[in-house]
């Protein structure tokens, strides 16, 4: 089954991710990333990357958005948009893919685009992390 997201909702979600990227704290990489999660109830929860001088503690935008949502009691998601990158759109990193797989269905749409504009790439959580680690 493929979940479809209305083109207007997709644009709104990407716009929300771009607004979130404006809050990125990225003095070390100078690489702002924004994420916007659409909840099943139609709410948008955003996140940005938050870096740290010790580097390894850096939080990616996608995980910031997910942790904000989950800590507010929201675990049902319909789509995710991510924006980052100048020339090449930033796809979610491997760690974020595993965390997405924890909370999102494999067929959940993920859109990613460059920071400043242009077309977005459409994929799914399952396509980003096939054969994800699960415990049964
Ligand atoms: N980053 C994200 O926010 N999301 C990703 O999926 C990939 C990387 C951030 C981490 C770091 O602050 C910056 O991008 C450069 O790697």
Is 131 within the bounds of a domain? no
pLDDT one-digit tens code per residue, 73-114 = 999 999 999 999 999 999 999 999 999 999 999 999 999 999
CB of 17 sitting under 6 A from ligand 1 = no
Q: What is the pLDDT of residue 4?
A: 84
Is 71 within the bounds of a domain? yes
Q: Please state, in angstroms and rounded to a whole number, the distance separating the CA atoms of residues 135 and 16.
A: 34
Is 96 within the bounds of a domain? yes
Q: What is the pLDDT of residue 2?
A: 64
Tokens standing for 30?
């100078």
Number of domains in the chain: 1
- Report how far ligand 1's centroid is from the alpha carbon of 75 (Å): 22
User: Of 41, 51, 62, 102, which residue is the catalytic one?
Assistant: 62
Is 41 within the bounds of a domain? yes
Is 97 within the bounds of a domain? yes
65 and 46 Cβ atoms separated by less than 8 Å: yes
Is 127 within the bounds of a domain? no
Alpha-helical segments (H) within the chain:
7-21, 61-71, 94-103, 125-128
- Report how far ligand 1's centroid is from the alpha carbon of 63 (Å): 10
User: Is 62 one of the catalytic residues?
Assistant: yes
For position 60, which CATH number holds?
3.40.140.10
pTM for this model (two decimals): 0.96
Q: What is the DSSP letter of 120?
A: P
CB of 103 sitting under 6 A from ligand 1 = no
- Report how far ligand 1's centroid is from the alpha carbon of 53 (Å): 14
Is 132 within the bounds of a domain? no
CB of 99 sitting under 6 A from ligand 1 = no
Q: Please state, in angstroms and rounded to a whole number, the distance separating the CA atoms of residues 95 and 74.
A: 20
Is 46 within the bounds of a domain? yes
CB of 58 sitting under 6 A from ligand 1 = yes
Work out the mean pLDDT of the chain and round it to a whole number. 96
Domain range enclosing 115: 7-119
CB of 46 sitting under 6 A from ligand 1 = no
């Amino acid at each position: 089954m493929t979940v479809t997201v209305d083109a207007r909702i997709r644009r709104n979600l990407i716009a929300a991710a771009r607004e979130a990227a404006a809050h990125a704290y990225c003095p070390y990489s100078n690489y702002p990333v924004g994420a916007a999660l659409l909840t099943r109830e139609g709410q948008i929860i955003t996140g940005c990357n938050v870096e740290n001088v010790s580097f390894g503690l850096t939080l990616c935008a996608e995980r910031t958005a997910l942790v904000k949502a989950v800590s507010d009691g929201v675990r049902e998601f319909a789509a995710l948009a991510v924006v980052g990158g100048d020339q090449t759109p930033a796809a979610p990193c491997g760690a974020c893919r595993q965390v997405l797989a924890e909370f999102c269905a494999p067929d959940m749409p993920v859109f990613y685009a460059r920071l400043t504009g242009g077309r977005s790439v459409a994929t799914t959580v399952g396509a980003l992390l096939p054969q994800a680690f699960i415990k049964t």
